[in-house]
């Protein structure tokens, strides 16, 4: 999954009817394969933003959709960024940029079977909060595989890959490992773990540090606590995590997230004369939060935190961090996204946002030369068409819990999926290839040729949050053997893994005749449409409840995805 897809821009306005130039034609009869789920194309568009940014501005988020827990590093004039992917494969996308605004995905860290094992995990387990560092020609990613091995480090001389097999750190518990390379050659690892002694309250955690061997990454010294609880222990702060250390002007700055990853999320900073402390917290903490702002404000960005800072030199210090864009209260379906803001130094302390200042959706560009236009847009309003005319998939495509090699082929300009016994709700390894929903107002469309042979065979288009919460619109057979299109919904673990059928309609024409499928997201509702060869769009279900696909309802740490499946 290394080659970038060919994007065709045909976006004409807020979720308008697709232009003919962007619509996929039906395949010729001699290319239809009975028994195979053949997807001829995949089209995505999204429109959430009003007013184009000025020439000296950029749009936030810089990575729209499910790109949480950003970490950034600089290598010469280039910047590299990674994100969490949990149990999706390939894991940990790697992005490259020259200007911190235009980002191109160049690969994935976890990109081959055997590196990590996700196969028995829930969607929101697996790889949490990776951190990336560059030192002396080598890139390092430190990470935790939750319920699948613990903490590890991988390395690469080319961030596009390949990356090494994981070096496991069995003596280091907790999550969120992060590396710091000091000027004297010493290497330190920080992580979140249980506090010394018994926890005093739920969410009581600590940040630890230890020196490690720069070659084997094993501990050289016993760990030391840097932060116990948080910057104001008397307030019983929760979930101190995501630590980073920066050396500036001879002083060491320790920055970490606090308050949990929901609406009380924040970023705090401390300073010391020695890398091992003691660290003094900044009186003005937190240096980033939105928890004090009115929840009903316009264009709200909430839950900000988990920041990582980078010194650009001429462009000043900048920070990447996660945030969410709710459509109502704490409801959002697009997951935690990556934002960028400048860092202001005040009396020797870095500040990302003043208290009470809203996170902007537009900001001044860093003073860096404009980067190349990415082949696939990652920010703002855009549309993308995938024609499957290359041998490899673009690196943003994902499958659940493992590679797609067993059930996917690219053949004659189409995706061909072999149905698997595991379905979308089975917490297994389904034939399910997805891309992120990157806008609250979005649309996904595909053309499917599929000739089901039994009532339990189905292929189609889905919007999916996790195994318990999804909609699936597929072609199958009814009890009489009639080919139909039907919409299923699963809204909670109490339902069977297949969910419930909300709507269905008979399909005319020969067996395996192509059907166009379309899902439209309108913030908190979704519309499901289909069209047969030469026919107009027909509504199968309009205004279905989209809140079941929100993190608020479905739980976990991911965002919704659109994808094609065969089961």
- Residue 436's φ and ψ, nearest 5 degrees, are -70, 145
**DSSP per-residue codes, 455-493:** TT--EEEEEEEETTEEEEEEEEE-TTS-EEEEEEEEEST
Nearest to 134 by CA among 78, 53, 64, 190: 78
Q: Give the Cβ contact number of residue 317 at 10 Å.
A: 18
Q: Token pair of 360, please? A: 């902007």
Q: Token pair of 334, please? A: 């697009």
d(CA 174, CA 189): 12
Q: Which helix (H) or strand (E) holds 230?
A: none
- Is-catalytic flag, 344? no
d(CA 62, CA 404): 28
What number of CA atoms fall less than 13 Å from residue 106's CA on the CB side? 17
Q: Give the Cβ contact number of residue 428 at 10 Å.
A: 19
Residue partners of 309: CB distance under 8 A and separation at least 6: 244, 246, 255, 317, 318, 319, 343, 350
DSSP code of residue 50: -
Alpha-carbon dihedral 181, 187, 190, 195, rounded to 10 degrees: -140
User: What is the separation of C-alpha 467 from the centre of its chain, rounded to a whole number of angstroms?
Assistant: 17
- Among residues 45, 48, 69, 529, the one annotated as catalytic is 69
- Is-catalytic flag, 69? yes
d(CA 43, CA 119): 29
In the sheet with 138-146, reading across from the earlier edge strand, the strands are 126-135, 138-146, 150-156, 167-168
d(CA 47, CA 55): 20
Strand 317-324 relative to strand 337-342, pairing: antiparallel
Residue partners of 543: CB distance under 8 A and separation at least 6: 525, 526, 527
Q: Token pair of 13, please? A: 């306005």
Q: Which helix (H) or strand (E) holds 541?
A: strand 538-545
Q: Three-state SS string across 136-167, please?
A: CCEEEEEEEEECCCEEEEEEECCCCCCCCCCE
- Among residues 48, 133, 193, 241, the one annotated as catalytic is 241
Catalytic residue ranges: 69, 241
């Amino acid at each position: 999954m290394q080659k970038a897809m060919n994007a065709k821009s045909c976006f004409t306005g807020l979720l308008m009817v697709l232009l003919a130039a962007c619509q996929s034609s039906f395949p010729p009869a001699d290319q239809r394969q009975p028994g195979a789920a053949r997807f001829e194309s995949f089209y995505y568009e999204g429109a959430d933003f009003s007013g184009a940014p000025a020439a000296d501005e950029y749009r936030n988020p810089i990575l729209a959709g499910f790109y949480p827990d950003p970490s950034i590093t600089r290598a010469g004039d280039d910047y590299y960024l990674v994100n969490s992917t949990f149990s999706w494969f390939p894991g940990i996308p790697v992005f490259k940029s020259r200007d911190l605004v235009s980002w191109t995905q160049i690969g994935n860290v976890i990109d081959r079977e055997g590196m990590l094992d996700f196969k028995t995990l829930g969607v929101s387990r697996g790889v949490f909060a990776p951190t990336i560092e560059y030192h002396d020609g080598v890139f390092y990613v430190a990470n935790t595989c939750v319920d699948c091995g613990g903490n590890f480090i991988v390395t690469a001389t080319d961030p596009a890959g390949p990356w090494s097999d994981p070096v496991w750190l069995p003596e280091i518990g907790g999550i969120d490992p992060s590396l710091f390379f000091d000027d004297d050659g010493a290497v330190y690892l920080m992580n979140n773990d249980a506090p010394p002694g018994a926890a005093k309250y739920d969410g009581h955690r600590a940040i630890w540090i230890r020196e490690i061997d720069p070659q084997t990454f094993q501990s050289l010294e016993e760990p030391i606590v840097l932060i116990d609880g948080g910057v104001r222990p008397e307030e019983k702060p929760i979930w101190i995590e995501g630590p980073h250390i920066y050396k500036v002007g001879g002083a060491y700055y320790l920055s970490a997230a606090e308050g949990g990853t929901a609406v009380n999320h924040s970023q705090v900073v401390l300073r010391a004369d020695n890398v091992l402390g003691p660290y003094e917290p900044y009186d003005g903490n937190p240096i980033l939060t939105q928890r004090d702002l009115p929840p009903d404000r316009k264009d709200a960005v909430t839950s900000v935190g988990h920041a990582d800072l980078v010194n650009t030199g001429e462009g000043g210090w900048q920070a990447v961090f996660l945030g969410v864009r709710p459509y109502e209260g704490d409801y959002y379906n697009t997951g935690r996204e990556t934002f960028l803001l400048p860092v202001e130094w005040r009396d020797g302390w870095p500040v990302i946002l003043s208290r009470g200042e809203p996170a902007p959706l537009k900001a001044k560009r860093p003073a860096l030369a404009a980067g190349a236009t990415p082949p696939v847009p990652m920010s703002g309003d855009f549309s993308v068409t995938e024609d499957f005319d290359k041998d490899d998939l673009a690196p943003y495509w994902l499958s659940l819990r493992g590679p797609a090699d067993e059930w996917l082929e690219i053949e004659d300009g189409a995706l061909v999926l072999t149905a698997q016994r595991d379905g979308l709700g089975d917490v297994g390894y389904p034939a399910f290839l997805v891309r992120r929903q990157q806008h609250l107002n979005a649309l996904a469309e595909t053309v499917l040729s599929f000739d089901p042979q039994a009532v339990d065979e189905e292929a189609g288009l889905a919007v999916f949050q996790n195994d318990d919460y999804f909609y699936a619109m597929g072609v199958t057979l009814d009890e009489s053997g009639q080919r139909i299109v039907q919409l299923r919904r699963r809204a909670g673990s109490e339902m069977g893994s297949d969910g419930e059928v909300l709507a269905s309609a008979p399909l005319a024409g020969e067996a395996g005749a192509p059907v166009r499928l379309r899902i439209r997201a309108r913030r908190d509702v979704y519309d499901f449409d289909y069209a047969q060869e030469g026919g107009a769009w027909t509504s199968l279900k309009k205004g279905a409840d989209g809140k079941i696909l929100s993190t608020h309802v479905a739980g976990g740490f991911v965002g919704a995805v659109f994808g094609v499946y065969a089961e």
